[in-house]
């Protein structure tokens, strides 16, 4: 992401009397992020952290960082597809900044509609994007995530139904039935949006849904991103326990779903508990160490980087505004 090139001046727009709400919300979320960051760092036990790093090899840590970078790179595609559907032409460096910072902050703070939407508005408003368009962008990006999650869950339940049944302590038939239900729901949505122009209407707000072509691209992109994020934790787990990646994917997606349902920021605590239950046949302390490293590598480090980028972006914006 580059911030060094001059951008063309936008045509002057008349400010409404509520113009200050966006900057105020952005400032509040930024301050809340700093508070949450301090709480998270303060509660990490140095001894546990040191042991987790000692148990992980350099290869594991390198792969985890690489898959984290790939996951966040794919997340920028969520915004790019949404902007394409909305007919907005935004430079990729702005799209990358808006996507990376919004997801990094919302993953940690939770409430993605509010937090991710506010951070996106902070970034995209400078390019002339309206608040209603940012809201539409956030919803379309959310649809991409859910389509990808559903595709991965369906594939893993069918491909590794026997192994998943062992983890879930149920029969393969039940696992396959769940996979069929997810497949039916996904197929129904694809048929629905391909049969005509579909629009979500909420209290006068209209959101035209993507057509079949963009929806299929959303599904593939979302599935690739979910697989990349799951791979971060998978490579950190102890080896030698015959846990195949497709089987782990099902456990990871279920943990994500339960974490989302809990409304805990980033599924904190709930996600970890679900993984520990699902992988109870593996050494408890080593899995717990892997989960701690996963939180640091996939959540904490991008969160810190996002705060730095947001601060730098605001400084550069003010400097350019002063020069102009």
The model's pLDDT over 108-146, given as tens digits with 9 standing for 90+, comes to 887 777 888 889 988 998 888 888 889 889 888 988 999
Does the reported pTM lie above 0.75? yes
DSSP, residue by residue, 189-243 = HHHHHHTS--EEEETTEEEEPP-HHHHHHHHHHHHHHHHHHHHHHHHHS-SSS--
Place of tokens 């709930």: 270
Per the model's pLDDT, the better-predicted residue between 231 and 51 turns out to be 231
Kindly report the average pLDDT of the chain as a whole number. 82
List, in order, residues 6 or more apart from 64 with CB less than 8 Å away.
232, 235, 236, 293, 294, 297, 298
Task: Tell me the average pLDDT across 13-22.
Answer: 50
Q: ∠ at Cα 82 (75, 196), nearest 5°?
A: 130
Which sequence spans correspond to the domains of the chain? 56-316
Tell me: the pLDDT tens digits for 148-172?
999 999 998 888 888 888 877 788 8
- For residue 8, the model assigns a pLDDT of 40
Whether the predicted pLDDT of 246 surpasses 60: yes
């Amino acid at each position: 992401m580059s911030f060094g090139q001059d951008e063309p001046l936008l045509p002057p727009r008349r400010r409404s009397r509520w113009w200050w709400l966006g900057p105020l919300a952005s400032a509040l979320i930024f301050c809340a992020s700093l508070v949450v960051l301090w709480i998270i760092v303060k509660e990490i036990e140095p001894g546990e952290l040191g042991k987790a790093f000692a148990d992980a090899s350099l290869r594991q840590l390198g792969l985890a960082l690489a898959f984290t970078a790939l996951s966040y790179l794919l997340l920028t595609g969520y915004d790019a597809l949404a902007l394409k559907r909305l007919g907005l032409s935004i430079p990729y460096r702005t799209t990358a900044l808006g996507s990376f910072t919004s997801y990094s902050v919302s993953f940690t703070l939770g409430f993605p509609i509010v937090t991710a939407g506010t951070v996106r508005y902070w970034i995209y408003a400078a390019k002339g994007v309206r608040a209603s368009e940012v809201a539409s962008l956030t919803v379309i990006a959310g649809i991409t995530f859910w389509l990808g999650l559903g595709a991965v869950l369906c594939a893993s339940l069918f491909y590794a139904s026997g192994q998943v049944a062992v983890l879930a302590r149920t029969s393969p038939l039940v696992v396959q039935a769940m996979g069929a239900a997810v497949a039916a729901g996904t197929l129904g949505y694809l048929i629905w949006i391909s049969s005509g122009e579909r629009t979500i209407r909420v209290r006068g707000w209209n959101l035209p849904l993507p057509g079949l072509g963009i929806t299929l691209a959303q599904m593939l992109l979302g599935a690739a991103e979910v697989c990349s994020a799951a791979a971060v934790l998978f490579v950190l787990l102890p080896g030698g326990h015959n846990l195949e990646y497709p089987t782990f994917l099902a456990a990871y997606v279920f943990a994500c779903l339960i974490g989302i349902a809990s409304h805990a920021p980033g599924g904190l605590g709930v996600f970890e508990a679900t993984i520990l239950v699902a992988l109870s046949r593996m050494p408890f302390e080593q899995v717990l160490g892997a989960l701690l490293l996963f939180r640091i590598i996939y959540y904490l480090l991008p969160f810190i980087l996002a705060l730095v980028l947001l601060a730098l972006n605001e400084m550069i914006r003010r400097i350019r505004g002063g020069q102009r």
